[in-house]
Amino acid sequence: MEIKAFSVIDFKTSKAIVRLGQFKKEDPKKCILIYTIVLLLYVISLFIDYFLIKSQFSWLDVGVLLCGIFYGIRIVYWRPKSYYKSHGKFVDMLNTFVFRKDEMTISSCIGDFESFTTMKYTMLYKVMETSDYFFLFENKMLLYIVDKSNIEGGTAKDIRKLLYAVLGRQYFDCKY
């Protein structure tokens, strides 16, 4: 049995990688929503404090607010964009994965560059699965991304069974 899957390193994939690193197993949309609500409550408390209660103006409060806004913008917009640009000439590289019983073959190509690797599943450090992707970590820094929408000859469930059977506790199902 062979299951083929394809993925491309594009902006959507880069965004998913950054959010996976930032939020781990938590739902990024839920975390960003909670962060936004807390920031809005802080703004409302500042408004009430300065305009209704007429207390002393504090640059510290403004600094905390600006840091909160800057941090939110950094997580949602700047980090994914810089991560995407950091791939240089490998942006939009096509990766083809062939999953077999106990190993997978990965081929990558863009322009004149081609790479082929065969790897046993036991060589994987861990796997993290989201609703759209499988993130296959070879070590803490190197990962392969499998797009679930581009699977042929099987399903995401078949790939999950193959990987979970070998990795067990190193297989993480992120609930988003």
21-79 pLDDT, tens digit each = 777 666 677 777 888 898 889 888 888 887 777 777 678 888 888 888 888 888 777 88
pLDDT at site 24: 67
Q: What's the predicted TM-score (pTM) here?
A: 0.80
Place of tokens 């990558």: 108
Q: Does residue 176 carry a pLDDT above 90?
A: no
Identify the residue with better confidence: 91 or 175: 91
Q: How far apart are the first and last CA of the chain?
A: 29
Alpha-carbon distance values, 153 to 1, 13, 130, 148 (Å): 8, 23, 20, 12
d(CA 155, CA 27): 23
Give the distance from CA 11 to its chain's centroid.
11
**pLDDT surpassing 70 at residue 160:** yes
DSSP 36: H
Q: Phi, psi at residue 54, to the nearest 5°? A: 60, 45
Q: What is the pLDDT of residue 108?
A: 92
Q: How far apart are CA 17 and CA 88, in angstroms?
A: 16
pLDDT tens figures, 96-152 = 999 999 999 999 998 888 999 999 999 999 999 999 999 999 998 888 999 999 999
pLDDT at 120: 95
pLDDT in tens, 80-99: 888 888 888 778 889 999 99
